[in-house]
Chain A
């Protein structure tokens, strides 16, 4: 009885504490909620860091004009407001809404836009579009700095036109515009916009580059930081050691990967660029050629995102295109795996645009796409300089697959990834052993010699940790992925290593 009493007391006491804690927590939540919202410091939007949401390649051909000199600050302001006007227009044509138009078009101009939007809305037409390049010439800037006449030449734009949810047309075109803008309450707004030339279609650039050497290479990630070559663990000494090992294997090429987000998407981080150049320098010292794979882990492809990927591409390519170690560009690793989720049309259009953009600034190096299987290898066959595909299936069929491909295209074909995981353990007790892997390489080399294949093996090292975004979270996949290397996690060279070395 007494025991019970104490128990009751304890229960009541703890219930009291818990209820009170709950009440106090509730009140504090209400108080915190009432204190959220507009902060005085936000009135001027000074603390808003605007992300670069729209980054077409914009150039100013001339700012010479008879009216008044254009100051750099006003030039930036006009450029920003002008691009925003296009951005808002693109969004409106996609969503059918008028949101934001009045900030970028004067009252008369916006009426015209509203009419076209209305026309599309009634017919359930919507357009995913973006402009990709602008070449502005300043024709006139008024003495009081409130009126500007611009000519925008070679506005290349990409549009996907849908009606009732069905894609009717997609394509890239080039237009010229005359624009008059007025400075109204702090915004440069478009007053007149007129297309001053017929549209010219973009003709896909000519692919004409070849690979001069016979590629015998390997896909490279450092052992300690796979899929994160350029992170905090980046170390040129490690690279040098690894590249010496690759030289020991008598290989001449490595393939590396540039993460789109890792490199800072549209605003490429100078630190990452520096590291990338550092890697190329080491490769150059060790006499290795490098295939640079761009846009790793990129998966958006949406038309509204194209300007950002374009800026990313232009920044990276301009930085390293003259590097002696650079052998070729691989636009993207296994983009065919995104067909199902993002739509084949869209992914192919994005790839095509990226190739065109890349070739505009680098005509020297061959361009390819790292297709995940031979079945996808002939997509954009005309656009790429050489064909790349990955092959992880049974080697028996490789020769046949290769010969079939070869019959379909005059272009060089590179087996960009192949390999065998030597994982045998808890998650796959009947997996392949190291001996199987060595035999795999023996078999492969036989085929390679017969068919004179260009090849890059996957990969140099077994890895301790596989990031979740590579092959998912399941341990049987992760473990398989970790054991493709020629050198195990303790640094011991597998049998396959000597097979490849003594080929």
Chain B
């Protein structure tokens, strides 16, 4: 093996140009000795990992300290090499950390501060012993439309982590559903790359790269649906009465993108509600399988609601209108004998059943601005007017509940 290596590093004499010799002879006497010594430079193609040694050819007996040093400068650093003597030969062995790196390696033979000779070696990467392919893919999630794309960049290396020279063939592969694509690319600027256009369907693209016998790890790209398109909405409710009790459900149709992909689960859909008094509020739901739902309570007051839903800034539905009817025609009231207590109720709902607890009942005394509000219990609310507060005499009361109003005159005894 060593013999073979030495064979490969065929050593030949580098003839110093006559001019150089002449110039050097004019220098100090120390330099004269070095003229006789010449470096034999490794010739032929060099590959990373191969041993590289320079031999000093000299007519004089040599000791390592007098032969000068070899300065080398490569991609990852600079160092000095002392000569070593083996079998009566003076050699400079380039350290492995330099011979293993592909690229240019410059050298200078320096003795007593004088540069005797200089040159450059090219070490190419060892493409017969490949290492790995690093496969970089990104963006890792893209949308199913014609605009979006991802990109795969492959950096193949030899077993010593050197980049592979340009124009080497690399196969870049992608798989989406049942379609596998295999693209041949030539390495340019030490990488091979490919754009991966987004398919129009959601799913996952797997990618990989191969070069000769080596392959990269798998990298995947998730294809998400594109932005939603407009959709419709409806309202589901059990009855149409303004009883302040029942929940109704707003729902959307299945929301899809322009290529019929169902939008991503968790998309926020907002339902904007406006009642007949022009009051606005909103409720939200998140999508699941393209559908989004939100609930709302029936009003206590008869009203007409206009509802519109939207995925903000992206898509919307048309307006939807619903009407709520009154559950009562008139407010039943009973006054006590002394006129000092008024009972409102029983308030009944649309089937004649007692309305649920918690309906607002407002009482205005003598057209006062601030009403007294109580909540119904078993359909009944009562207000009393104690003597300490209300002197005897007539009193006008206004009652407001469930969207109805009634005025009563009482006489306090």
Contact with B along A132-149 (1 / 0, CB 8 A): 000000011011101101
Q: A115-B97, A151-B189, A195-B75 are in contact. Are A143 and B155 (CB under 8 A)?
A: no
Contact between B151 and A142 (Cβ–Cβ < 8 Å)? yes
Minimum CB distance partner of A199 in chain B: B106
Is the C-beta of B354 less than 8 angstroms from some C-beta in chain A? no
Tell me the complex Cα distance, A199–B106, Å.
Answer: 6
Contact between A143 and B195 (Cβ–Cβ < 8 Å)? yes
Is the C-beta of A312 less than 8 angstroms from some C-beta in chain B? no
Contact between B104 and A149 (Cβ–Cβ < 8 Å)? no
Tell me the complex Cα distance, A182–B137, Å.
Answer: 12
Contacting residues of chain B (162-176) with chain A, CB-CB under 8 angstroms: 162-163
Contacts of B106 in A (CB 8 A): 173, 195, 198-199
Q: A169-B108, A194-B103, A199-B120 are in contact. Are A147 and B136 (CB under 8 A)?
A: yes
Q: A143-B138, A143-B195, A194-B102 are in contact. Are A116 and B155 (CB under 8 A)?
A: no
Contacts of A149 in B (CB 8 A): 189-191
Is the C-beta of A67 less than 8 angstroms from some C-beta in chain B? yes
Is the C-beta of A442 less than 8 angstroms from some C-beta in chain B? no
Tell me the complex Cα distance, A197–B74, Å.
Answer: 10
A178 to chain B, nearest CB (A): 6
Contacts of A139 in B (CB 8 A): 188-189
Contacts of B162 in A (CB 8 A): 194
Contact between B103 and A144 (Cβ–Cβ < 8 Å)? no
Contacts of A120 in B (CB 8 A): 77, 79
Q: A147-B153, A163-B80, A180-B163 are in contact. Are A198 and B136 (CB under 8 A)?
A: no
B132 to chain A, nearest CB (A): 10
B275 to chain A, nearest CB (A): 48
Tell me the complex Cα distance, A321–B95, Å.
Answer: 48
Contact with A along B134-178 (1 / 0, CB 8 A): 001011100000000111010100000111000000000000000
Contact with B along A177-207 (1 / 0, CB 8 A): 1101010000000011111111100000000
Minimum CB distance partner of B190 in chain A: A178
Contact between A123 and B139 (Cβ–Cβ < 8 Å)? no
Partner pick for B138 among A93, A142, A197, CB 8 A cutoff: A142
Contacting residues of chain A (106-142) with chain B, CB-CB under 8 angstroms: 108, 112-113, 115-120, 123, 125, 127, 129, 139-140, 142
Contact between A108 and B161 (Cβ–Cβ < 8 Å)? yes
Tell me the complex Cα distance, A464–B158, Å.
Answer: 72
Is the C-beta of A405 less than 8 angstroms from some C-beta in chain B? no
Is the C-beta of A161 less than 8 angstroms from some C-beta in chain B? yes
Contacting residues of chain B (78-118) with chain A, CB-CB under 8 angstroms: 78-80, 82, 95, 97-98, 101-106, 108, 110, 113, 115
Is the C-beta of B362 less than 8 angstroms from some C-beta in chain A? no
Contact between A161 and B80 (Cβ–Cβ < 8 Å)? yes
Contacts of A191 in B (CB 8 A): 155
Contact between B75 and A177 (Cβ–Cβ < 8 Å)? yes
Contacts of A142 in B (CB 8 A): 136, 138, 151, 153, 193
Is the C-beta of A267 less than 8 angstroms from some C-beta in chain B? no
Contact between B75 and A199 (Cβ–Cβ < 8 Å)? no
Contacts of A146 in B (CB 8 A): 136, 138
Contact with B along A26-68 (1 / 0, CB 8 A): 0000000000000000000000000000000000000000010
Tell me the complex Cα distance, A116–B190, Å.
Answer: 23
Contact between B104 and A197 (Cβ–Cβ < 8 Å)? yes
Tell me the complex Cα distance, A175–B193, Å.
Answer: 27
Tell me the complex Cα distance, A161–B188, Å.
Answer: 35
Interface bracket on B: 35 or more
Partner pick for B76 among A112, A127, A168, A197, CB 8 A cutoff: A112
Is the C-beta of B381 less than 8 angstroms from some C-beta in chain A? no
Partner pick for A199 among B101, B104, B153, CB 8 A cutoff: B104
Minimum CB distance partner of A137 in chain B: B189
Minimum CB distance partner of B196 in chain A: A143
Is the C-beta of A304 less than 8 angstroms from some C-beta in chain B? no
Partner pick for A192 among B98, B104, B108, B155, CB 8 A cutoff: B155
Is the C-beta of B69 less than 8 angstroms from some C-beta in chain A? yes
Tell me the complex Cα distance, A163–B76, Å.
Answer: 18
Minimum CB distance partner of B157 in chain A: A192
Contact with B along A189-228 (1 / 0, CB 8 A): 0011111111100000000000000000000000000000
Q: A143-B149, A144-B139, A198-B104 are in contact. Are A116 and B77 (CB under 8 A)?
A: yes
A95 to chain B, nearest CB (A): 14
Contacts of B108 in A (CB 8 A): 169
Tell me the complex Cα distance, A147–B71, Å.
Answer: 34
Is the C-beta of A159 less than 8 angstroms from some C-beta in chain B? yes
Tell me the complex Cα distance, A123–B103, Å.
Answer: 24
Minimum CB distance partner of B166 in chain A: A178
Tell me the complex Cα distance, A93–B74, Å.
Answer: 13
Minimum CB distance partner of B137 in chain A: A144
Partner pick for A112 among B101, B153, B190, CB 8 A cutoff: B101
Contact between A169 and B79 (Cβ–Cβ < 8 Å)? no
Q: A149-B189, A169-B110, A173-B106 are in contact. Are A93 and B151 (CB under 8 A)?
A: no
Tell me the complex Cα distance, A163–B65, Å.
Answer: 13
Contacts of A182 in B (CB 8 A): 136
Contacting residues of chain A (69-118) with chain B, CB-CB under 8 angstroms: 93, 108, 112-113, 115-118
Contact between B77 and A193 (Cβ–Cβ < 8 Å)? no
Tell me the complex Cα distance, A271–B149, Å.
Answer: 50
Tell me the complex Cα distance, A112–B139, Å.
Answer: 30
Tell me the complex Cα distance, A198–B107, Å.
Answer: 10
Contact between B80 and A168 (Cβ–Cβ < 8 Å)? yes
Contact between B71 and A169 (Cβ–Cβ < 8 Å)? yes
Contact between A113 and B163 (Cβ–Cβ < 8 Å)? no
Is the C-beta of B288 less than 8 angstroms from some C-beta in chain A? no
Tell me the complex Cα distance, A304–B55, Å.
Answer: 35
Contact between B71 and A168 (Cβ–Cβ < 8 Å)? yes
A60 to chain B, nearest CB (A): 16
Contact between B191 and A140 (Cβ–Cβ < 8 Å)? yes
Contacts of A116 in B (CB 8 A): 76-77, 79, 97-98
Is the C-beta of B73 less than 8 angstroms from some C-beta in chain A? yes
Tell me the complex Cα distance, A163–B78, Å.
Answer: 12
Q: A169-B110, A195-B104, A198-B120 are in contact. Are A143 and B95 (CB under 8 A)?
A: no
Sorted from nearest, which 9 A-B pairs have the closest CB atoms? Answer: A144-B138, A116-B77, A198-B120, A143-B151, A115-B97, A194-B103, A195-B103, A199-B106, A139-B189
Q: Could you list 6 further interchain pairs (A-B, Cβ under 8 angstroms) beyond the known A120-B77, A178-B163, A195-B104?
A: A123-B79, A139-B188, A142-B138, A169-B110, A192-B163, A194-B103
21 chain-A/chain-B pairs, Cβ below 8 angstroms: A108-B161, A112-B76, A113-B76, A120-B77, A123-B79, A142-B136, A144-B139, A147-B136, A149-B191, A161-B78, A163-B69, A168-B110, A169-B71, A169-B108, A169-B113, A178-B163, A180-B191, A182-B136, A191-B155, A192-B190, A193-B75
